[in-house]
């Protein structure tokens, strides 16, 4: 079968592949601890589920405006104003089928074929693939662990060319957990403005920051930068709503209109019922979100200190999101259980086989020296999984 080059160029998602492996083993009755998940293990708070049920009961089941219902756009504006002090009007908001879809709309609406998009590594696996789908070129800019996984303007400046069109920034970061501070963002903002780029700012882990940190949204730094920013967020991670598929973008009106038109021809509107649920999430109480954040912080503390104490792993304490990106370079080139561990995939495979623990190889995030461990899983499972890792390493 001859398929289009566009789809042949896509790499499969390593996170979904590992998750599928874990589920397959679990189905065979193998007790695996799954550290590959990218979603909260909590249920969606009950008031949000009730709002969706009420929407179904009242028959709110027809097409909505392509870019989202006015009440939800208004709620997004109110949230941005309240949480970030950002003033956006409904005509600058596009509600989509998850943040992934918002990001796709943004890349498709700003990139022409051959344009270059700067992506600091480690990055979320989907960015380079979406850029390729737009027939643009992902330009990966490696960021050292010694810089706290935070890219500098100087490192980006070296890779800017006349074809550079956008920078995709993700803070708090998946997979590294890095959270950018105000001054770092100001320097990146200057670079964006100096080269007339778009800043696609993925803020889906906005609420998952720890130790009293506060998320800084780049659009708040300067009105000129706001005019070049596509702020992307979602209810998925914050409100434990990954399956509902509601994300949103805030950006200048002209771009919002283009993204809405594009989406109108691809998906029409996001699901009517899920939009009502998202409205309840954004206008409802903050306590459930804060309770989840506190639990993530406790799990992070446990996982990061346990992993750092297991010989061979090296990791700091992540500042946000729900992942530990552990350095595994000390395992590489060594032989374990009769097999040489050459790269992050080999180490992940070793842990799966010998410890029945699922992790995600760093290669898919742009760093073959790391493994990603998610702590979006119950505390006793984290403990059991890390015990197994320790035992498997001691045995082999
Ligand atoms: N951005 C980042 C950094 C993510 O980690 C994810 C999900 O894993 C997404 C976006 C996608 O979010 P959504 O489920 O709202 O599409």
Q: Decide if pLDDT at 12 tops 80.
A: no
The pLDDT confidence band at residue 18, using thresholds 50, 70 and 90, is confident
Q: Are residues 27 and 60 in the same domain?
A: no
CA distances from 128 to 13, 82, 112, 371 (A): 11, 32, 15, 19
Cα radius of gyration (the chain): 21
Average pLDDT over residues 159-164: 98
Asked if residue 110 lies in contact with residue 198, where contact means CB atoms within 8 angstroms, the answer is yes
Q: Decide if pLDDT at 15 tops 80.
A: no
Q: Are residues 189 and 270 in the same domain?
A: yes
For the CA of 236, the closest atom of ligand 1 is 15
Residue 147 main-chain phi, psi, to 5 deg: -100, 20
- The pLDDT tens digits for 267-278 are 999 999 999 999
pLDDT at residue number 193: 98
Q: Are residues 295 and 355 in the same domain?
A: yes
Asked if residue 389 lies in contact with residue 306, where contact means CB atoms within 8 angstroms, the answer is no
- In angstroms, the CA 80 to CA 251 distance is 12
Q: Are residues 162 and 235 in the same domain?
A: yes
Full residue range of the structural domain in which residue 385 is found:
5-43+288-395
- The pLDDT tens digits for 330-343 are 999 999 888 999 99
Q: Decide if pLDDT at 350 tops 80.
A: yes
Within a 13 Å sphere around the CA of 125, how many CA atoms are in the beta-carbon half?
A: 15
Q: Decide if pLDDT at 92 tops 90.
A: yes
- In angstroms, the CA 73 to CA 90 distance is 5
Average pLDDT over residues 16-23: 80
- What percentage of the chain has pLDDT greater than the value 70? 100
Q: Mean pLDDT lowest for which of 91-100, 251-260, 387-396?
A: 387-396
Q: Residue of the nearest CA to atom 7 in ligand 1?
A: 38
Q: Is 247 in the pocket of ligand 1 (CB under 6 A)?
A: yes
pLDDT at residue number 66: 98
- The pLDDT tens digits for 207-258 are 999 999 999 999 999 999 999 999 999 999 999 999 999 999 999 999 999 9
Asked if residue 15 lies in contact with residue 36, where contact means CB atoms within 8 angstroms, the answer is yes
For the CA of 124, the closest atom of ligand 1 is 3
pLDDT at residue number 69: 98
Q: Is 204 in the pocket of ligand 1 (CB under 6 A)?
A: yes
Q: Decide if pLDDT at 97 tops 80.
A: yes
Domain final residue, candidates 257, 283, 309: 283
Average pLDDT over residues 7-22: 80
Q: Are residues 357 and 373 in the same domain?
A: yes
pLDDT at residue number 23: 84
Q: Are residues 229 and 324 in the same domain?
A: no
| CATH number, residue 27 | 3.90.1150.10
Question: How much is the mean pLDDT over the chain?
Answer: 96
pLDDT at residue number 10: 87
Number of domains in the chain: 2
- Higher pLDDT pick, 144 / 19: 144
The pLDDT confidence band at residue 22, using thresholds 50, 70 and 90, is confident
Q: Are residues 270 and 380 in the same domain?
A: no
- In angstroms, the CA 219 to CA 67 distance is 21
Q: Is 40 in the pocket of ligand 1 (CB under 6 A)?
A: no
Average pLDDT over residues 372-389: 96
Asked if residue 177 lies in contact with residue 323, where contact means CB atoms within 8 angstroms, the answer is yes
Average pLDDT over residues 180-206: 98
For the CA of 39, the closest atom of ligand 1 is 8
In a mutational test of the pocket of ligand 1, which residue from 99, 121, 263 has the highest number of ligand atoms less than 8 Å from its CB?
99
Average pLDDT over residues 325-333: 96
Q: Are residues 138 and 172 in the same domain?
A: yes
Q: Are residues 174 and 208 in the same domain?
A: yes
pLDDT at residue number 158: 98
Q: Are residues 240 and 298 in the same domain?
A: no
Q: Are residues 262 and 387 in the same domain?
A: no
Asked if residue 155 lies in contact with residue 182, where contact means CB atoms within 8 angstroms, the answer is no
Q: How far is CA 63 from the centre of its chain?
A: 28
| CATH number, residue 74 | 3.40.640.10
Q: Mean pLDDT lowest for which of 30-39, 192-201, 313-322?
A: 30-39
Q: Mean pLDDT lowest for which of 20-29, 124-133, 224-233, 238-247?
A: 20-29
pLDDT at residue number 16: 76
- In angstroms, the CA 72 to CA 75 distance is 5
Q: Is 172 in the pocket of ligand 1 (CB under 6 A)?
A: no
pLDDT at residue number 82: 96
- Give the β-pairing of 137-142 and 116-121: parallel
In a mutational test of the pocket of ligand 1, which residue from 236, 243, 244, 325 has the highest number of ligand atoms less than 8 Å from its CB?
236
pLDDT at residue number 17: 77
- What percentage of the chain has pLDDT greater than the value 90? 92
Domain final residue, candidates 251, 283, 315: 283
Q: Are residues 32 and 58 in the same domain?
A: no
Q: Is 300 in the pocket of ligand 1 (CB under 6 A)?
A: no
pLDDT at residue number 290: 96
Within 8 A by CB and 6+ apart from 234, the residues are: 98, 99, 102, 204, 241, 246, 247, 248
Q: Is 372 in the pocket of ligand 1 (CB under 6 A)?
A: no
For the CA of 173, the closest atom of ligand 1 is 3
Domain final residue, candidates 265, 283, 301: 283
Whole-prediction pTM value?
0.96
């Amino acid at each position: 079968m001859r398929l289009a080059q566009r789809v042949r160029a896509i790499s499969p998602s390593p996170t979904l592949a590992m998750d599928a492996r874990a589920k397959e083993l679990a189905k065979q009755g193998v007790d695996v601890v799954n550290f590959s998940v990218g979603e909260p293990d909590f249920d969606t708070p009950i008031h949000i589920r009730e709002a969706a049920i009420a929407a179904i009961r009242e028959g709110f089941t027809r097409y909505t405006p392509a870019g989202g219902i006015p009440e939800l756009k208004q709620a997004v504006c109110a949230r941005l104003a309240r949480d970030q002090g950002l003033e956006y009007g409904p005509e600058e908001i596009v509600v989509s089928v998850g943040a992934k879809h918002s990001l796709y709309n943004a890349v498709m609406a700003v990139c022409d074929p051959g344009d270059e998009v700067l992506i600091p590594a480690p990055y979320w696996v989907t960015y380079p693939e979406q850029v390729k789908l737009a027939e643009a070129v992902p330009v990966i800019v490696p960021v050292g662990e010694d810089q706290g996984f935070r890219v500098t303007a100087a490192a980006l400046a070296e890779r800017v060319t006349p074809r550079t069109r956008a920078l995709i920034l993700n803070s708090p970061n998946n997979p590294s957990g890095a959270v950018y501070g105000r001054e770092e963002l100001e320097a990146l903002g200057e670079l964006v403005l100096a080269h007339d780029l778009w800043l696609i700012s993925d803020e889906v882990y906005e609420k998952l920051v720890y130790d009293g940190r506060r998320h800084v949204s780049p659009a708040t730094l300067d009105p000129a930068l706001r005019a070049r920013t596509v702020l992307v967020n979602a209810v998925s991670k914050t409100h434990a709503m990954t399956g509902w598929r509601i994300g949103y973008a805030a950006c200048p009106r002209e771009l919002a209109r283009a993204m809405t038109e594009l989406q109108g021809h691809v998906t029409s509107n996001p699901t009517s019922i899920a939009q009502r649920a998202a409205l309840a999430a954004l206008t409802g109480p903050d306590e459930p979100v804060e309770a989840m954040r506190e639990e993530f912080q406790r799990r992070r503390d446990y996982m990061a200190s346990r992993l750092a104490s297991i010989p061979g792993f090296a990791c700091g304490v992540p500042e946000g999101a729900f992942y530990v990106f552990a350095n595994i370079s000390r395992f590489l080139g060594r032989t374990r259980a009769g097999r040489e561990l050459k790269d992050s995939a080999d180490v992940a495979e070793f842990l799966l086989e010998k410890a029945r623990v699922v992790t995600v190889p760093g290669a898919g995030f742009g760093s073959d020296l790391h493994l990603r461990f998610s702590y979006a899983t119950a505390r006793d499972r984290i403990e059991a999984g890390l015990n197994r890792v320790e035992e498997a390493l001691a045995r082999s």
